[in-house]
Amino acid sequence: MLKTVVMVSGGGTNLQAIIDAIKNGVIKDTEISAVISNNENAYALERAKNAGISAECISPKSYSDRAAFNKALLEGVLKYEPDLVVLAGFLVVIPPEMIKALPNKIINIHPSLIPAFCGEGYYGLHVHEGVLERGTKITGATVHFVDEGTDTGPIILQKAVEVHDNDTPKTLQQRVMEEAEWKILPMAIDLIAHDRVVIEGNKASVI
């Protein structure tokens, strides 16, 4: 059984996609041990509670400085002894100590085709604003392992999505979620649960 901890900051539609995929058998041999949010008002916490999953908030506001928050976050995750940590719309930079403690055991969903529209400043709606400003015709989503850089780790899965002429950042965000994110994130978790993702250097392959 793959034990996962899912980390969230907001609405939690990707978390919901994982919960539903476990329920309907798209993801097998996997459980969510806990959901952790940095934001006490994240609706994702309600989604976890509704699904009977233990949910907690570890907020930077409760700590005197970033180092203390990072330490609490790391301890909060490690106490569940996860095989995999899933960043499902977690908009906090992962502390290097966590990456060292969980090498190749943290994955992230990003709402673009990396290496386009990723890195510092590109998160949430900003990604889709960037895509529309550039006039890009194709965008998509990427699931990747998390390393010390921002959105630089080995890519596991990607899915392309068309940009429409009349898109707003919100309509594009919704289409990228529906057509790509909610599909490839559960798929990647199932592949990892069945030892089907191999990493060599900065490349991940599905076997």
- Give me the active site residues, please: 110
Distances (CA, A) of 136 to 118, 123, 175, 197: 14, 17, 15, 30
SS3 at position 122: coil
Q: Position 37: which residue type?
A: S
Residues 59-118 that bind ligand GAR (CB under 6 A): 88-89, 109-111
Q: Position 201: which residue type?
A: G
Smaller CB separation from ligand GAR, 82 or 89: 89
**Binding characters for ligand GAR, 15-54, by CB under 6 A (x = yes):** -----------------------------x----------
Q: Residue 33's CB: how many other CB atoms inside 10 A? A: 17
Count the residues of the shown chain that bind ligand GAR, applying the rule CB under 6 A. Answer: 17
> d(Cα 195, Cα 45) in Å, to the nearest integer?
29
CB 69, min distance to ligand GAR, A:
19
**Binding characters for ligand GAR, 115-154, by CB under 6 A (x = yes):** --------xx--x---------------------------
Strand partners, 191: none
CB 110, min distance to ligand GAR, A:
5
> d(Cα 121, Cα 118) in Å, to the nearest integer?
8
In 3D space, the residue among 64, 72, 41, 45 whose CA is nearest the CA of residue 56 turns out to be: 45
Q: Which residue is nearest to ligand GAR (CB)?
A: 89
Stretch that binds ligand GAR, among 9-17, 33-41, 132-140, 194-202 (CB under 6 A): 9-17
Instruction: Using CB under 6 A, list all residues that contact ligand GAR.
Output: 8, 10-14, 44, 88-89, 109-111, 123-124, 127, 177, 181
